[in-house]
């Protein structure tokens, strides 16, 4: 009897890349793509509907943001495995990913076969990290999980504050941030105040410089 294929939802901000990758999986014997999106809010909705075993996503999705979306997905279905597939490597992303308990962090220069293997390992309860990512992590025997070797000062922020900071650093107004993240302007102002207090930075220009230095800003 043929076993059922692994149900996967695929999310990437670049539609062409997402569709090309989904097409490659059509012929895969063990993996089935049950949903795709370019948006973090849609990702949560699709996962709620399709109940995938694995979510493969970039760290940079529009909307509420990848990490906030992942947190929402895991709060509803903790058994869902998360595999990050991205071209962005920074300690802050690695740290947040590990705290959320992702099963994999792969760079986009990995082969298609390696991604397939990472998905299979995730379902088996194992982890996979690209070599350049593995250099930034280690397995903590006491906590029985992988942790980042270097913690950024940005680790003081919550997932949502991290996303608000990215918008602020790009020069978005409070009104624009509220619209994109589906928050009230009052809530965004509150996050902005807390971000600046936590980081000890009270100037938006310096805040942007800090975000760039920490590798937070994505092209």
pLDDT by residue for the chain (219 residues), tens digit each?
Answer: 346 899 999 999 999 999 999 999 999 999 999 999 999 999 999 999 999 999 999 998 988 889 999 999 999 999 999 999 999 888 888 988 998 999 999 999 999 999 999 999 999 999 999 999 999 998 888 878 888 887 777 888 888 898 899 888 888 899 999 988 888 999 999 999 999 999 999 888 888 888 888 877 754
CATH 3.40.50.2300 in the chain: give the residue spans. Answer: 6-148
181-196 b/e (C-beta count within 10 Å ≥ 16 → b): bebeeebbeebbeebb
Structure tokens, 19: 């569709």
CATH 1.10.10.10 in the chain: give the residue spans. Answer: 153-213
For residues 26 and 37, what is the distance between their CA atoms, to the nearest angstrom?
16
Structure tokens, 64: 């509420």
pTM of the model: 0.85
Whether domain 153-213 has CATH 1.10.10.10: yes
For residues 109 and 210, what is the distance between their CA atoms, to the nearest angstrom?
28
Q: 6-148 has which fold? A: Rossmann fold (3.40.50)
């Amino acid at each position: 009897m043929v076993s059922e294929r692994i149900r996967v939802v695929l999310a990437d901000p670049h539609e062409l890349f997402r569709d090309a990758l989904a097409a490659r999986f059509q012929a895969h014997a063990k993996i089935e793509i049950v949903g795709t999106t370019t948006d973090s809010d849609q990702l949560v909705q699709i996962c709620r509907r399709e109940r995938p075993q694995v979510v493969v996503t970039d760290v940079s999705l529009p909307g509420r943001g990848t990490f906030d979306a992942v947190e929402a997905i895991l709060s509803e279905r903790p058994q869902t495995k998360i595999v990050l597939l991205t071209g962005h490597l920074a300690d802050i992303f690695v740290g947040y990913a590990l705290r959320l308990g992702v099963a994999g962090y792969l760079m986009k220069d990995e082969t298609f076969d390696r991604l397939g293997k990472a998905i299979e390992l995730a379902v088996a309860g194992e982890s996979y990290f690209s070599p350049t990512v593995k250099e930034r992590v280690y397995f903590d025997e006491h906590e029985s999980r992988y942790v980042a070797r270097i913690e950024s000062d940005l680790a003081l922020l919550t997932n949502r504050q991290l996303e608000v900071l990215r918008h602020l650093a790009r020069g978005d107004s409070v009104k624009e941030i509220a619209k994109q993240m589906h928050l009230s302007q009052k809530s965004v102002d509150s996050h902005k105040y807390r971000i600046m207090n936590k980081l000890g930075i009270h100037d938006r220009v310096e805040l942007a410089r800090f975000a760039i230095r920490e590798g937070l800003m994505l092209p």
